[in-house]
């Protein structure tokens, strides 16, 4: 399972828990109930965005503003619209700064989209680091999303959240060229994950390679390829490209 699918699976199942941390919002009319259900039951991301916008427009005093912005953030992520994902993620955090789902999403997305020569590079990375560290402080005390969930299953779910936060910190470290710290965070991410992904192994291999540890980089990239690697937009597998680079430099 790739990072996006794993994240969406965790975040969607996490949504109920995220909102359960606060007093439950209440609809004020059947019409508002219908508008909320339209967001929940939308057939695709574009329909969900339209339904969420309509909810906020038609019911300006709704207690479901956080929910609507949260669902728009997820929808824009599915559409690979990074700018709007950030906008609605930040809007969600205005209503609930402790929404761990949003903190995890943004802490990963920001370093992924940050480029080496961005003038605001460090500002963006500092923001992502703050989000990841806030998530790490909040995750241990999260209430169960389902009271019938086994304690062991909930513990493993929280470990997956911790894994994602550590992967984000690893990516931030790579962008800052702090490779030893990146290796530490990415190794921890793999240790905590219930399902190790090719993407995480790829990032670990990249950190090893950039730090000059070619043998460890080759081992990690082979594990990445065995787990599916990391697919790029052009159809290439980034792990296979990295393996060629590592072998070519030996």
Q: Which two tokens stand for residue 26?
A: 């209440």
pLDDT at 6 over 60: no
pLDDT of residue 9: 45
Asked if residue 7 is part of any domain, the answer here is no
Out of 95-109, 162-176, 181-195, 201-215, least confident range = 95-109
pLDDT of residue 227: 96
**Rounded average pLDDT over 190-212:** 97
pLDDT of residue 24: 80
How many domains is the chain partitioned into structurally? Answer: 1
Asked if residue 132 is part of any domain, the answer here is no
CB 114 within 8 A of CB 175: yes
Question: pLDDT above 90 covers what percent of the chain?
Answer: 82
Question: pLDDT above 70 covers what percent of the chain?
Answer: 90
State pLDDT tens for residues 218-244. 999 999 999 999 998 888 999 999 999
Strand segments, DSSP code E, in 96-229 are none
Asked if residue 211 is part of any domain, the answer here is no
Asked if residue 74 is part of any domain, the answer here is yes
Asked if residue 1 is part of any domain, the answer here is no
∠ Cα 181 2 160 (to 5°): 60
- Single out the residue of 2, 9, 1 nearest to residue 157, CA to CA: 9
Asked if residue 77 is part of any domain, the answer here is yes
- Domain hosting 40: range is 23-95
Longest dimension (CA), the chain: 68
CB 247 within 8 A of CB 225: no
State pLDDT tens for residues 117-170. 999 999 999 999 999 999 999 999 998 878 888 999 999 999 999 999 999 999
Asked if residue 243 is part of any domain, the answer here is no
State pLDDT tens for residues 37-74. 999 999 999 999 999 999 999 999 999 999 999 999 99
What is the C-alpha R_g of the chain? 19
Asked if residue 123 is part of any domain, the answer here is no
**For residues 102 and 127, what is the distance between their CA atoms, to the nearest angstrom?**
13
pLDDT at 19 over 60: no
Strand segments, DSSP code E, in the chain are none
């Amino acid at each position: 399972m790739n990072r996006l699918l794993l994240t969406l699976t965790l975040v969607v199942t996490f949504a109920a828990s995220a909102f359960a941390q606060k007093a439950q919002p209440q609809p004020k009319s059947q019409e508002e109930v219908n508008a909320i259900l339209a967001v929940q039951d939308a057939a695709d991301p574009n329909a969900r965005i339209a339904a969420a916008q309509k909810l906020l427009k038609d019911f300006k005093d709704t207690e479901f503003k956080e929910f609507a912005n949260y669902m728009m953030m997820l929808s824009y992520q599915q559409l690979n619209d990074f700018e709007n994902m950030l906008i609605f993620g930040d809007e969600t955090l205005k209503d609930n700064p402790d929404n761990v789902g949003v903190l995890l999403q943004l802490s990963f997305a920001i370093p992924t989209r940050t480029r080496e020569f961005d003038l605001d590079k460090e500002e963006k990375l500092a923001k992502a680091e703050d989000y990841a560290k806030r998530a790490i402080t909040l995750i241990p005390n999260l209430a169960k999303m389902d009271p019938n969930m086994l304690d062991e299953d909930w513990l493993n779910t929280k470990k997956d959240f911790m894994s994602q936060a550590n992967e984000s910190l690893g990516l931030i470290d790579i962008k800052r060229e702090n490779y030893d710290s990146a290796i530490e965070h990415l190794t921890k991410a793999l240790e905590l994950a219930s399902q190790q992904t090719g993407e995480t192994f790829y990032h670990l291999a990249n950190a090893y390679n950039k730090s000059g540890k070619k043998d460890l980089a080759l081992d990690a990239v082979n594990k990445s390829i065995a787990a599916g690697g990391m697919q790029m937009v052009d159809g290439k597998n980034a792990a296979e490209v990295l393996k060629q680079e590592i072998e070519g430099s030996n």
